[in-house]
Amino acid sequence: MTEAIDTRTDVLERFRRHSANTNPGKFARSYDALPTDLASTCQAVQSWLVHMFWIGEAPYGVTHAQIKASGRRMCEEFSLSTAEERLASIFALDERPLAEPRPADRRSMGCCRDYALMLTSVLRHRGIPARVRTGVALYFVAPDGYRIEDHYVTEHWNTAEGRWQLTDPQIDDLQRHAVGSGLNTLDLPEGVFLTGARLVEAIRDGRVPETVGFPPVNVGVTYGRNKLFADFAGLTGHELPVHAWWGLGEPSSVEPGDDALVDRMIRLVHAIDRNVESALAEALHLSRTHPRLRMPAGYTVPAYEHPLC
């Protein structure tokens, strides 16, 4: 049985409501004193988090060794799934109101997914339809041009213009050199970020090389399928941490029928992007019932492990 989503209003209302992961829980009132414009909200989110893999690239004034020496468990912080868990971590490190800037050594350890999740959480708290999107960014500068970066961003409904607007809440002033000074990260232009569905299509038609991803296993069309799975999960209420997956999202798992399922998911995602109500209802039903997509009973997010920790 599909969920009753019959109008565009129903689609927007679905993305206005919190999921289990975006719900701030007991910390909801802490959002109320935040500035309400998008730029200032992103600056606030940037002050709550520090990206584990950017500490060595940008001059944040803190090192991994210093954070470990303070007794913090970086990988445990990185593994946090929900906004409520993340807010508990943020306030444990610095109990001041969220609108007050925090030094880097008192920010919670995360990655792009966590910036996107927290901005989505704040926007939904304000009644703004918003969602976490994942795929690849094409705007990070590399020595020979631009590199393809595994990435998460936030998408919210721009009521005034009647469109979904992509925002990269991770990019602060220290990281801006990595994306080129002219890019508006509050309103990403068309084509600089590929969702999972668009990534699969780009790999298939040769616009993105088969070497994209994380070798040796999670590369090429396998990687594209993994990103499609994660983006589809986010659209259907499960904004997963970067190291969480099952079924179709598991890089080493391939079953007959996967190609047809991927094609169906791509079709649905493109229709959801156009606010087609029947597509969202079908996607929600598929995510709950298909054996390659539904969350396994008793599933828990695995602990994240990395040499930096």
Average pLDDT over residues 296-300: 94
Partners of residue 109 on adjacent β-strands: 50
How far apart CA 35 and CA 43 sit, in angstroms, is 10
Per-residue pLDDT of 189-207, as tens digits, reads: 999 999 999 999 999 999 9
Q: What is the pTM of this model?
A: 0.96
Supply the pLDDT for residue 59. Answer: 86
Region of 22 please: left (phi>0), alpha (psi -120 to 50) or beta.
Answer: alpha
Per-residue pLDDT of 61-117, as tens digits, reads: 999 999 999 999 999 999 999 999 999 999 999 999 999 999 999 999 999 999 999
Distance of CA 143 to the CA centre of its chain: 26
Cis status, amide bond into 216, omega within 30 of 0? yes
The answer to whether the beta carbons of residues 135 and 196 sit under 8 Å apart is yes
Per-residue pLDDT of 203-232, as tens digits, reads: 999 999 999 999 999 999 999 999 999 999
Per-residue pLDDT of 25-43, as tens digits, reads: 999 999 999 999 999 999 9
The chain-wide mean pLDDT, for the chain, equals: 95
- Evaluate if residue 296 carries a pLDDT over 90: yes
Per-residue pLDDT of 142-197, as tens digits, reads: 888 889 999 999 999 999 999 999 999 999 999 998 888 789 999 999 999 999 99
Supply the pLDDT for residue 3. Answer: 63
- Evaluate if residue 237 carries a pLDDT over 80: yes
Strand ranges for 143-283 from DSSP E: 145-158, 163-167, 193-195, 213-214, 218-219
Whose tokens are 């993340």? That residue is 86
How far apart CA 100 and CA 44 sit, in angstroms, is 8
> Domain coordinates of the chain in residue numbers?
8-289
